[in-house]
Structure 1
Amino acid sequence: MSHEFPKVQGGGSLIVAWQVKDKHVLVVGGGEVAAGRILHALNADSRVTVVCPKTGLNDEVAFRVAQNQVSHIDRNFEPCDLDGADMVLCAIDDPEASSQVWKLCKERRIPANIADVPPECDFFFGSVHRDGPLQIMVSTNGNGPKLASIIRKKIANTLPSNTGAAIENVGRLRKKLREVAPDANEGPKRMKWMSGVCESWTLEELVEMSERDMDGLLKFYSTTKVPNLREVREDSH
């Protein structure tokens, strides 16, 4: 009986897509690592504040400050900087100061990541491949960041270059389907039908799918049939 279930593999992380849109992310530091953290936070539509002396900002962080993409506090970190923070990303070359940031975050129960110090992290950053709405993260749970990057590139190289566009079209189709069949009781049927579309259509067909194709495809939903692209276009003419 026990062999029917997945084996538990301890030592991992709970990998989730953390929604930080409009949340306040505090970044301590302004070097290369901080620049990467800032980009991740901005890509997730969060509000970012960088605390670091102006002289310590690298070119990328200085650019984001100049473009008002982030707020900037021109000095070293102070405890009051944590006021109103929903998340803290610390990337400075001072182990003692970093640990102090960590301790203050723990006291205030603010989730934090202290770069290059796994024991002082509530979460890790993985190596991320991004293509429009598609995000693929590879994590080594703090054991080998460079290896995570190598593996991520290998995975990305196996994907068609238009994968993101296919996903965007699927997202639009799902939205249209909810408008056609808004009843909550339709949920299982909608999911099964959308799964059928994703499994039977190629990525190239999903990329090629136009708004007219979507409307034509949705005409088949009530019958539960999943036609191919050729059938949809023949029916539309």
Structure 2
Amino acid sequence: MSLPTKDIADKTIENGNELFPIFLKLHNLQTLLVGGGNVGLEKLSALLNNSPQAKVNIVADRFLPEVKSLANAHTNINIIERKFEENDLDGADLAILATDDYQLHQYICTLAKERGILVNVADTPELCDFYLSSIVKKGNLKIAISTNGKSPTVAKRIKEVLNENIPSEIDETLEHMNQLRNTLSGDFSDKVRALNAATATLVQKPEEQVPLSPRKVSFAIWSLVVAFAALTFYVVWKEEPEFRAYVEGINPKFYWFLGAGFVFAMIDGAIGMSYGVTSTTFSLSLGIPPASASTAVHISEILSNGIAGWMHFKMGNVNKKLFKILIIPGIIGAVSGAFILSSLEEYNHYTKPLISVYTLILGIVVLKKALNIQRKKRAKAKKITKIGPLGFFGGFIDAVGGGGWGSIVLSTLIAGGRSARYSLGTVKMTRFFIALLSSLTFVTMLDGLRWYAVAGLVIGSALASPIAAKVSNKISAKTIMVAVGIIVILASLNTISKFLLAF
């Protein structure tokens, strides 16, 4: 005897979700969809997204063009353009009702139950024999989410969280496990023991794992570099009088860049950004031409980005496919930008104000981020697909403006629906090659390179890196970002105003 509706509701509250999850081979079943409007389109899309070969008959007296278009793209979909008739249930294994006619739904449910056909009714849980779940799909991995019909919104939100945090590379893991499984011999117990051994590291307790700390490794590497450089400098200074004389004759601006490189690296360690824009703005304000300024910035970033990229690669944060698509256009854009800027070095009195406009814009961006000035939240963007042009543009602007690869490429990838973790790791990895190739182009093209600026930024940032890693959490990021934004804006405006006053 069936329970009254109230009793069923009470039982559900007491025992939680008692639905039994199953995965159906819809290509072996016949599905009837009643309704060709917006809800029908939603249901049909869900069926085909998960089972492209599903056999579906759609009955409705009117259809949206999108429904017909979707049906025409699949030979296994049959459209019947008229009102529902009882014989439409002939041969059906499942029925999905997606109209706005509640009485029609009740009538079809009654007929379906007499024939033993399972029914799903849109937005009417009490008439449903089954629900269509929110689905997370990563290759061969598929996860169905159910809230027992209580809140489709919550199910959708959980789907978004899982889609964001489960990497697409999980499908590679499944393929590897399948290959391992196919190589195993022996009885069932032997196979289970072998698979348990292969997956043991996935279920270790936290205390059994020894995670690789990026900050500790970075600190150790930079400490060795700084110690070796200091020791070398001391030995050479003591033993070589000519070297002492050379050091004493160094351009005094070297020490300004040494201190600036130290401060800018500390800022970058505290807020994770702005090294490029602060270094470039500072260089321009001291009269360094744009190409030389960009060279100094990129050379000083080669080692730091190499370490960061390597750490992200070791932690599995680099999307190999995204890296391959991004790296070549990025290098071409960076080399092109470096070549053009170097060729225009003799016209630096014109290019300098243009670069200052760029740093002015970046300064405003930093200030807006610090003050949380954001536009009204927009609908979730579709995943960006034009990675190549993005890489070229980001590399070109980065070389011309002395920075911007991260702010342009990373922000665009995340805003375009890409995973933040994998985007960050991939951008850091590619940044090393961008900095290396653009630096080589600058060094090859420029004759009068300001090596005192390059050396100052390189040594200053190297000295600051291990310290920045330790103190970054103890500094108010917002205060620093506000100060950086204001300073960059004022310095950029000063360079622009000098150019305008010269005319």
- Under a length normalisation based on structure 1, what TM-score does the superposition of the two structures give? 0.71
1:77 pairs with 64, 71, 84, which one? 84
Match of 1:46 in 2: 54
What residue number does 1:136 align with? 143
Select 1:164's aligned residue among 143, 167, 171.
171
Q: How much identity, in percent, do the aligned residues show?
A: 28
Relative to structure 1, the CA distance from residue 141 to residue 196 in structure 2 (aligned partners, 3 Å threshold; closer, same or farther) is same
1:197 aligns with 2:171: no
**Structure 1 residues 131 and 31, CA gap change in structure 2 (3 angstroms):** farther
Inter-partner Cα distance in structure 2 for 1:73 and 1:126: 26
- Find the residue that maps to 2:135 and give its secondary structure: strand
Count of matched residue positions in the alignment of Structure 1 and Structure 2 = 191
Aligned residue number for residue 118 of structure 1? 125
| Superposed displacement of residue 144, structure 1 | 0.6
Say which SS state the counterpart of residue 15 (structure 2) adopts. Answer: coil
Q: Quick check: 1:88–1:110 contact (8 Å CA) kept in 2?
A: yes
- Output the amino acid matched with 1:194: L
Q: 1:49–1:70: 8 Å Cα contact kept in structure 2?
A: yes
- 1:12 pairs with 2:13: no
Q: Is residue 93 of structure 2 the alignment partner of residue 93 of structure 1?
A: no
| Partner SS for 1:27 | strand
Instruction: Select the structure of larger CA radius of gyration.
Output: 2
1:72-107 Cα offsets, whole Å, 9 max, x none, are: 111121110000001111111111111111111111
CA shift for structure 1 position 110:
0.3
The answer as to whether partners of 1:30 and 1:57 remain within 8 angstroms in 2 is: yes
**Residues 76 and 199 of structure 1: is their aligned pair in 2 closer, same or farther, counting only changes over 3 Å?**
farther
Report deviation, 1:69.
4.2
Q: Which has the higher contact order (CA 8 A, sep 6+)?
A: 2
1:134 positional shift:
1.0
The alignment yields a C-alpha RMSD, in angstroms, of 2.6
Q: Work out the CA distance in 1 between the residues paired with 2:173 and 2:80.
A: 41
* Greater fraction strand: 1
Q: 1:11: how far off?
A: 4.3
Letter in 1 for 2:33: V
SS of structure 1 residue aligned to 2:143: strand
Question: Relative to 1, partners in 2 of residues 1:191 and 1:49: Cα closer, same or farther, differing over 3 Å?
Answer: farther
Pick from 142, 152, 155: which aligns with 1:148? 155
Give distance in 1, aligned partners of 2:42 and 2:176: 29
Q: Which residue of 1 aligns with 2:109?
A: 102
* Structure 2 unaligned spans of 5+: 1-13, 204-314, 321-503
Distance 2:45 2:23 in 1: 16
**Distance in 1, Cα, partners of 2:193 & 2:41:** 42
- Distance 1:195-1:50 versus aligned 2 partners, 3 A rule: farther
Aligned residue for 1:17, secondary structure, equals: coil
Distance, in Å, in 1 between the alignment partners of 2:132 and 2:109 is 16
- 2:54–2:76 contact (8 Å) kept in structure 1: no
Higher helix share: 2
List per-residue Cα deviations over 1:8-35 (Å, max 9, x = no partner): 9344311222333321111111223323
Supply the distance in 1 between the matched residues of 2:153 and 2:77 (Cα, whole angstroms). 28
Aligned-partner Cα distance in 1 for 2:42–2:199: 33
Q: Secondary structure, in 3 states, of the residue corresponding to 1:56?
A: coil
